[in-house]
């Protein structure tokens, strides 16, 4: 009872932290009805660039500010970790009322610092990200006759050393007639926080619309500064504003102000509200994903054939032959044993650094469980891009909860290696709770100092650092200790054979065994490298990744391949009388992380050619290292557990004295 009472307190604590600190919500969950004439406020997110991978605040540039001042919108934990900073903007629409030549503001004359930073952001190809009713602004262009989709629009453009800023925006809002549902109240989003009261019958008769599309066309016209001296925000600009995306005129200069204007048109669309994200989530190359899966299936079939041969032809044949002999013949055969049967007295000898192995396997189980559950939920649509930040938030939540599994597996494996001795389980549980999170915390802290120095919104605020530490030590660590407690109480796994006091000498090998272990990682890498390209493009090229169904299938295939690879290599090592299989089985499948890191470097050199500056490259390599370590723990755990089961099953069938 005390345990469950404490568990409820931990769950309540994490819920309060998520709710009070960051307004936990599911944006875009329900359609919002807007009556003709209702105000629609556009929000701004951080400006981003694939050249630097460092987001900055929208208002770090000399843009117009809203009349009531800049206000932050509700953000959840995942959004903050991703560098999103959603704020209100001066752009204001009225539902289904077209507006043209709307004057926004005239900035103060550009200072030297403002001019310099504006030029830098233009050179680094920063994009402005706008949001209306939870939909990011989308921009359509054509290249060689092919239509291209982009989210946001560039700050400006550099033509032959002259810098031009896009100071006029042409918006198109696609709307669809509101379709009444049985929902009495609607959960608010960042665009309409709060709960909408139940509507009356008279209000239902009023025609309403839902926003199903948000497009933007940036232009750079040259405004007459003298005409706007007495104009106020949202008043009409005296002359028609030409908007030609193919030409630019507003060149920026030091000491010169910039005039911003916009126009908006509403257009009724056949797109229904549930389909409004299709334009963002539509991903080309589905055939490539299927090719990746078929390629993985071929690798699995090949390895499965090898495993089948090992089990049915080799192991079964040897065991059957052994069981058919009488005791005298068995005793004689014991003197003539060869291959894996020779290491029967050493195969379960404790490995070097057993505590570290137990800790890494426990952390690997935690990461694997988090990955499977998160990707499954995302594939079922619970973590769509419409719900910004929920993917990261969900990963953190599942990771903390699965600390129970990490502690249980680490301690039970520790007791198995120590032949049932439960002493030291608290130390193993504590280290399992701190080992991988400690490495992640160290990497993220170093990278965060770089982001702080660059004044990027990607930097984690100090207050969030405190909250993450509280989540770690108040939720994750106690749950891991609880799992370790159950692992200490659970019966340890009995070895089927006794271990000799004197270790057997391993005969010299023709090739170094670690060379074979490192080479084994090529097979798991071959199952995921195609999908890895799409994931890397999503992370570093600003593309939306939402084929989580494919990703879940690839993850399952990867687990199968890792298990088969480690099993085959473990058997090969035992056949050459190498009984030190524990760590080798872990790194046989875990070595796939090495190839992923090499692929990341290749991606940096050949695909991210425009990545500018040592800070950006350091950030890329740091985040890649963090990802690679998580993959190594996960795949290594799969390989070790499958090999442990195989060795236990193999020698449980042998009765040698």
- Three-state SS sequence of 68-95: CCCCECCCCHHHHHCCCCCEEEEEEEEC
Give residue 11's pLDDT.
39
Instruction: Please give the distance of CA 579 from its chain centroid, rounded to a whole number.
Output: 38
What pLDDT score does 534 carry?
Answer: 82
**pLDDT exceeds cutoff 80 at 80:** yes
**Contact of 209 with 175, CB cutoff 8 Å:** yes
Token pair of 216 as six digits: 């933007």
DSSP class of 314: I
pLDDT of 28:
40
pLDDT tens, position by position, 119-143: 999 999 999 999 999 899 999 887 7
Q: Is the pLDDT of residue 5 over 50?
A: no
Report pLDDT digits (tens) over 457-469: 888 888 888 999 9
The residue with greater pLDDT, 133 or 30, is: 133
CA dihedral 62, 56, 52, 447 (to 10 degrees): 150
Residue 431 backbone dihedrals phi, psi, to 5 degrees: -70, -35
Between CA 363 and CA 370 the distance in angstroms is: 11
pLDDT at 448: 93
pLDDT value for 311: 64
* 538 Cβ neighbours under 8 A, 6+ residues apart: 544, 545
Give the pairing of strands 130-132 and 156-159. unpaired
Q: pLDDT digit string (tens) for 301-335?
A: 777 777 767 666 566 555 565 555 554 454 444 44
Note the pTM of the prediction, 2 decimals.
0.84
- The confidence score (pLDDT) of residue 282 equals 65
- 21 φ/ψ angles, rounded to the nearest 5 degrees: -80, -35
- pLDDT value of residue 183: 41
Compute the distance between CA of residue 176 and CA of residue 386 in angstroms, rounded to an integer.
18
For 362-396, give the DSSP string: HHHHHHHHHHHHHHHHHHTTTT-TTSTTHHHHHHH
Asked if residues 363 and 594 have their Cβ atoms less than 8 Å apart, the reply is: no
Categorize the per-residue pLDDT at 189 as very low, low, confident or very high, splitting at 50, 70 and 90. Answer: very low
Residue 469 has a pLDDT of 93
DSSP track, 18-74: HHHHH----TTSS---EETT-EEEEEE--BB-TTT---B-GGGSS----TT---BPP
Structure tokens at 114: 């403002």
* DSSP reduced 3-state for 584: helix
Task: Count the Cβ atoms, other than its own, within 10 Å of residue 606.
Answer: 8
> How much is the average pLDDT of 77-101?
90
Among 1, 13, 95, which Cα is nearest to 478's? 13
Domain ranges in the chain?
A: 35-181+203-280, 286-653
How large is the average pLDDT for residues 576-595?
93
Name the nearest CA neighbour of 315 among 333, 339, 283, 291.
339
Average pLDDT over residues 568-574: 89
Helix boundaries (H) for 197-315: 201-205, 278-281, 286-308
Q: Distance (Å, rounded) from C-alpha 544 to C-alpha 547?
A: 9
Angle formed by the axes of helices 614-652 and 582-590, nearest 10°: 130
Q: What is the pLDDT of residue 529?
A: 82
**Tens digit of each residue's pLDDT (9 = 90 or more) over 412-425:** 999 999 877 778 89
Q: In Å, how far from its chain's centre is CA 279?
A: 21
Mean of per-residue pLDDT scores for the chain: 83
Q: What are 197's strand-pairing partners?
A: none
Let me know the angle formed at the C-alpha of 155 by 464 and 618, rounded to the nearest 5 degrees.
50
Average pLDDT over residues 574-591: 92
Among 36-40, 176-180, 389-393, whose mean pLDDT is lowest?
A: 176-180
**Encoding tokens for residue 392?**
């990261």
CA dihedral of 56, 61, 67, 72, whole degrees rounded to 10 = 10
Residue 275 has pLDDT above 90, yes or no: no
Tokens coding 19? 């709710």
pLDDT at 25: 31
Helices (H), 309-326: 316-324
* Alpha-carbon span 588 to 586, nearest angstrom: 6
pLDDT band at 515 (very low <50, low <70, confident <90, very high): confident
The confidence score (pLDDT) of residue 449 equals 93
pLDDT at 90: 95
Tell me: the pLDDT tens digits for 147-163? 778 889 999 999 988 99
Of 238-247, 266-275, 339-348, 372-381, minimum mean pLDDT range: 339-348
The pLDDT of residue 568 is 87
CA gyration radius for the chain?
Answer: 30
């Amino acid at each position: 009872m005390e345990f469950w009472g404490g568990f409820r307190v931990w769950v309540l604590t994490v819920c309060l932290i998520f709710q009070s600190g960051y307004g936990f919500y599911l944006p875009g969950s329900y359609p919002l009805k807007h009556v003709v004439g209702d105000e629609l406020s556009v929000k701004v997110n951080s400006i981003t660039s694939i050249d630097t991978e460092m987001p900055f605040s929208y208002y770090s540039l000399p843009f117009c500010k809203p009349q009531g001042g800049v206000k932050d919108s509700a953000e959840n934990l995942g959004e903050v970790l991703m560098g999103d900073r959603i704020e209100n903007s001066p752009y204001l629409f009225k539902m289904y009322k077209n507006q043209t030549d709307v004057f926004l503001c005239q900035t103060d004359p550009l200072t030297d610092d403002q001019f310099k930073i504006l030029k830098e952001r233009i050179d680094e190809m920063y994009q402005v990200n706008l949001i209306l009713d939870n939909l990011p602004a989308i921009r359509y262009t054509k290249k060689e006759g092919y239509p291209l989709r982009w989210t946001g629009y560039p700050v400006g453009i550099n033509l032959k050393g002259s810098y031009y800023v896009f100071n006029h925006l042409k918006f198109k809002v696609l709307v669809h007639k509101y379709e009444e549902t049985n929902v009495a109240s609607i959960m608010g989003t960042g665009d309409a926080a709060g709960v909408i009261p139940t509507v009356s019958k008279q209000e239902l008769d009023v025609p309403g619309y839902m926003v199903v599309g948000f497009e933007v066309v940036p232009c750079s016209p040259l405004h007459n500064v003298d005409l706007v001296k007495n104009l106020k925000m949202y008043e009409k600009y005296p002359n028609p504003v030409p908007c030609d995306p193919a030409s630019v005129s507003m060149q920026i200069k030091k000491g010169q102000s910039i005039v911003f204007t916009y126009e908006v048109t509403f257009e009724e669309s056949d797109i229904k509200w549930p389909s409004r994200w299709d334009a963002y989530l539509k991903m080309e190359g589905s055939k490539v994903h299927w090719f990746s899966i078929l390629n993985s299936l071929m690798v699995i079939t090949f390895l499965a054939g090898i495993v089948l041969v090992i089990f049915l032809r080799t192991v079964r044949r040897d065991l059957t032959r052994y069981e058919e002999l009488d005791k005298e013949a068995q005793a004689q055969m014991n003197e003539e044993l060869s291959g894996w049967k020779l290491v029967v007295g050493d195969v379960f000898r404790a490995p070097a650094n057993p505590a570290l192995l137990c800790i890494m396997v426990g952390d690997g189980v935690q990461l694997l469980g988090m990955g499977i559950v998160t990707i499954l939920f995302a594939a079922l649509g619970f973590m769509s891009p419409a719900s910004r930040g929920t993917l990261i938030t969900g990963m953190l939540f599942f990771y903390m909860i699965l600390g129970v599994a990490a502690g249980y597996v680490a301690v039970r494996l520790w007791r198995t290696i120590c032949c049932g001795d439960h002493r030291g389980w608290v130390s193993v549980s504590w280290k399992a709770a701190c080992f991988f999170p400690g490495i992640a915390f160290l990497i993220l802290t170093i990278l965060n100092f770089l982001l702080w120095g660059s004044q990027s919104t990607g930097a984690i605020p100090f207050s969030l650092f405190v909250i993450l530490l509280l989540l770690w030590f108040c939720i994750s660590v106690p749950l891991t200790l609880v799992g370790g407690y159950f692992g200490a109480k659970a019966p340890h796994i009995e070895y089927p054979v006794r271990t000799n006091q004197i270790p057997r000498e391993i005969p010299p090998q023709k090739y170094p065994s670690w060379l074979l272990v490192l080479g084994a990682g090529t097979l798991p890498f071959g199952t995921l490298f195609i999908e890895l390209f799409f994931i890397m493009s999503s992370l570093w090229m600003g593309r939306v990744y939402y084929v989580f169904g494919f990703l879940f299938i690839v993850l399952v295939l990867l687990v199968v391949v890792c298990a088969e690879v480690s099993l085959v290599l473990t058997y090969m090592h035992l056949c050459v009388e190498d009984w030190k299989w524990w760590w080798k089985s872990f790194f046989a499948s875990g070595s796939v992380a090495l190839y992923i890191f090499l692929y990341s470097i290749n991606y940096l050199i050949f695909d991210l050619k425009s990545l500018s500056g040592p800070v950006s490259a350091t950030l890329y390599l740091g985040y890649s290292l963090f990802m690679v370590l998580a993959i190594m723990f996960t795949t290594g755990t799969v390989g070790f557990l499958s090999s442990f089961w195989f060795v236990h099953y193999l020698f449980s069938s042998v009765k040698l004295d």
